[in-house]
Chain A
Amino acid sequence: MSGGWKLVDSWVPFLLSILLGIPLASLGLLIAGIVLAGYERLSTSFFLNGPSFDPDKAGIMPALVGSMWVVGLGMAIAIPLGVATAVYLTEYVGSKRVSSIILFNVNNLAGVPSVVYGLVALSIVGYQLGLGRSIATGAIALAFLVLPIIVVSTVEAIREIPVSQRLGAYALGASRLQVVLHVVLRQALPSILTGSILAVSRALGEAAPILVISGLIFVREPPSSPLDEFTALPLQIFNWITRPQAEFKELAAAAIIVLLLLLLALNSLAIYLRARLQARLPG
């Protein structure tokens, strides 16, 4: 009666582990394939040149610079806005109902497809406000895209701070603002930082909203002001992938390697910082 099922019972974990293994193996395949394809194209000229019709002369410089501009500007908007929202939510809003409505909205924002952010930014900022298909527009789109990440990680960090800390500060006569700035934000800093870094890595990799806003133009020079047209690294990758020639696919692979390395560096930084800063704070 029970004998036959011993067999099934031992097969099950084996089969399941195969299911687990497939995505993991794909990851490995993917990375291996990319590295093999793109490795040879990595050279200093690759980094210094702009795109060109000649694959041997093409490079990612304007795209890299563009990415830094748009992500940098975007974060400059998103971080203060996100932290302020989070602080407002946790410290200043009394009723649970209001805060849960706001949080609900923030979470919903996280589910919006990234293209839509691009569309909305294009319409409002680009056209209504007249900023055009520029870095500024892109930055705003990215800012709202990553806003939920920052808000949620900050809110969680703030919630973990024991009430006793705040009570202690109030008891010494601190005003609300002072408590917020010196006690709350100080302790939430590590999480805000790591949240920001994660947001940056998300923003760096997003091509869709950038595509919508900037179009697929041939950008030769790196941008010099927020109102310039631009391209970004993921978009450049997209551009090259869609070219029929095999060489451009190799270029795309090389650019992907750069992108992935950047992301790897960022995420490692986040992990390292979290560990480091956590150790310095009181238990």
Chain B
Amino acid sequence: MPYKTLKAEERAANMGIFKASASGIVLETVDLTVYYNGRKVLDKVNAVFHENRITAIIGPSGSGKSSLLRSLNRLNDLIPGARVEGRVYYRGTDIYSKEVDVYSLRAKIGMVFQKPNPFPMSIYDNVAFGLRVNGVRDENMIEKRVEEALRLAALWDEVKDRLYDNAYTLSIGQQQRLIIARALAVEPDVLLLDEPTSSLDPISTSKIEEVLARLKERYTIVIVTHDLGQARRLSDHTIVLMPDKSGTGRLIEQGPTRRVFEDPINEKTRTYISRSLGLL
């Protein structure tokens, strides 16, 4: 539903997004403000996320990147002391409105965390978990989807002979791909990833980057990363968050990745990027 595209385009013009590169907008936040125990961590963030694109969220630590991500699938609800103001629209619906079933929402907007957190069960059961809790009972279907998900995550070949081994026997790089498979099994629309490769070695990192690059054909991907090289390599759009003097995160720039990196509008973006990349 082309909801709010007009306003989005207005904002996009202000932010410098070229209309031509914008595909449909799947998620957007309107004046999103987040508080943890009274402390404001994000202030009036207006971000857009495009369908079938990879959007990277970058910024120094403490700029609220994870908080922004967690607001998109309402995982913030679970954190005591967290308060959200403003709106988040997923395909036109305000996800914080009373009619929304947060559980189905989370199946549509999946999340992968920084440190892999496999459940204490077999590889197969880990991937099947999401399906089972969402009511899928047909074992044949579960089997099919598990295999599909593992293939998409480029893990199938490595585990197909040991699906019933405990998930903890996988290496950490494999575990992270398992988590991705687990999220994919429920056939989400959007995949949120919070620094998915920061705990991994370079080889596992590049494997996962390959996976993500392929996945964007089917999914909308949002990835928080502090690795600017990764953001540049992978993403189509970039959102830059920066803490202000009082420590509250603000969105200071967003747009096509190439432009944000090569010709940023905001001075702070330029400083941040050149300083971070200069260190490498």
A and B touch in the complex (CB under 8 A): yes
Report the interface size class on chain A. under 10
Q: A interface, by DSSP: helix, strand, loop or mixed?
A: loop
Rounded to whole Å, the gap between the CB of B141 and the closest CB of chain A is 14
| B interface residues, how many (CB within 8 angstroms) | 5
A175 in the interface, Cβ–Cβ < 8 Å?
no
Q: Does A171 sit within 8 A of B, measured CB to CB?
A: no
Chain A residues with CB below 8 A from B104, complex form: 1-2
- A4 to B: closest C-beta gap in Å: 9
Is B101 engaged at the interface, CB distance under 8 Å to the other chain? yes
B37 CB–A CB distance under 8 Å: no
Is B278 an interface residue, CB under 8 A from the partner?
no
A25 to chain B, nearest CB (A): 30
Please name all residues of chain B whose beta carbon is closer than 8 Å to the beta carbon of A1 when the two chains form the complex: 104, 134-135
Closest to B107 in A: A2
Could you mark each residue 1-17 of chain A with 1 if its beta carbon is under 8 Å from any beta carbon of chain B, else 0?
Answer: 11000000000000000
* Cβ–Cβ < 8 Å partners of B101 in chain A: 2
In whole angstroms, how far apart are the Cα atoms of A1 and B104 in the complex? Answer: 9
B3 at the interface (CB under 8 A from A): no
Task: Judge whether B164 is part of the interface by a CB distance below 8 angstroms.
Answer: no
Within 8 A of A (CB), among B130-149: 134-135
Measured CA separation A17–B253 after assembly (Å): 50
Which B residues are CB-close (under 8 A) to A2?
Answer: 101, 103-104, 134-135
CA distance A2 to B103 in the complex (A): 8
How far does the Cβ of B86 sit from chain A's closest Cβ, in whole Å? 26
Q: How far is B101's CA from A1's CA once the two chains are assembled, in angstroms?
A: 11
Complex-state Cα separation, A2 to B134, whole angstroms? 7
Residue of B nearest to A2 (CB): B103
Q: What residues on A are CB-neighbors of B135 within 8 Å?
A: 1-2
User: In the complex, what residue of chain A is closest to B134 when comparing beta carbons?
Assistant: A1
Please give the distance in Å from B208's CB to the nearest CB on chain A: 30
Binding site for A on B (CB under 8 A): 101, 103-104, 134-135
Residues of A within 8 A of B (CB): 1-2
- Report, nearest first, the 4 A-B pairs whose CB atoms are least far apart: A1-B135, A2-B103, A2-B104, A2-B101
8 examples of A-B residue contacts, CB within 8 angstroms? A1-B104, A1-B134, A1-B135, A2-B101, A2-B103, A2-B104, A2-B134, A2-B135
Beyond A1-B104, A2-B104, 6 additional pairs, beta carbon < 8 A: A1-B134, A1-B135, A2-B101, A2-B103, A2-B134, A2-B135
